[in-house]
Homo-oligomer: A and B are copies of this chain.
């Protein structure tokens, strides 16, 4: 039997992934589709974030984890609860009202928004009925509810955080090249970085471990692979501080 939900509290999840080929930061979205019963007119056809109501006896964090597992099959993802969206009128545009009617909810809903960082290649989205699809964060489709706002605020937070926390590694495979790391930074921050200076800077970091391995199957000089050591990072930065304003 289904446990009871808390009707006025939900969780919405912005799932970020990096596509190394297109060098694009993407967001995973679900199709929201509804047609009328009489004449099969399309009433709603847009995209939304994945989310669900919190269950009684479940923490908010657990709700988010559960929703992500159902969507991606993955656990232990980087997860950040970044903001609450609770405007009384946040679900009041035309299509949202139609949708709400069909789904039988009309209470004021407050949503707790998370963002997740995933390694795109690990996500299995084929087995999901809602046809999840990746979209570039800079080129989003039509979105339901206030989800465009939620995505943009998540992106702003991610940008800021990537400057002073080593979270960008969550978007890369376990083994990556310096160039790939630079690509992610450039993409997320929307800047160009000099490859020589970037490389020099990053190579001085103890938490970047050089592996005994190189890229294979590329038609050029294969590049050195690295991994990120969380342990080393935490040891180094436990006691350090740096006022950078």
Contacts and interface: CB of A to CB of B under 8 A. Distances in A.
Interface of A: 6, 8-9, 54, 56-60, 81, 83-84, 86-88, 108, 110, 112, 160, 162-166, 185, 189, 191, 201, 205, 241-245
Contact of A84 (B81, B191, B243, B244): B81
B243 A56 contact: no
Contact of A9 (B110, B185, B189): B110
A84 B60 contact: yes
Contact of A245 (B88, B166, B241): B166
Nearest to A233: B245
Q: A interface, by DSSP: helix, strand, loop or mixed?
A: loop
Nearest to A86: B60
A105 to B, nearest CB: 15
Contact of A108 (B6, B83, B86, B88): B6
A134 to B, nearest CB: 25
25 contacts: A6-B8, A8-B8, A8-B9, A9-B9, A9-B86, A54-B86, A54-B110, A56-B108, A57-B88, A59-B87, A59-B88, A60-B84, A60-B86, A60-B110, A84-B84, A84-B112, A163-B241, A163-B243, A164-B164, A164-B244, A165-B245, A166-B245, A189-B241, A191-B241, A242-B244
A51 to B, nearest CB: 14
A160 B245 CA distance: 12
A79 to B, nearest CB: 13
Contacts of A243: 162-163, 185, 201
A181 to B, nearest CB: 10
A167 to B, nearest CB: 9
B245 A164 contact: yes
Contacts of A56: 88, 108
Contacts of A8: 6, 8-9
Nearest to A57: B88
Contact of A164 (B9, B59, B81, B163): B163
Contacts of A84: 60, 81, 84, 112
A54 B88 CA distance: 11
A245 B59 CA distance: 32
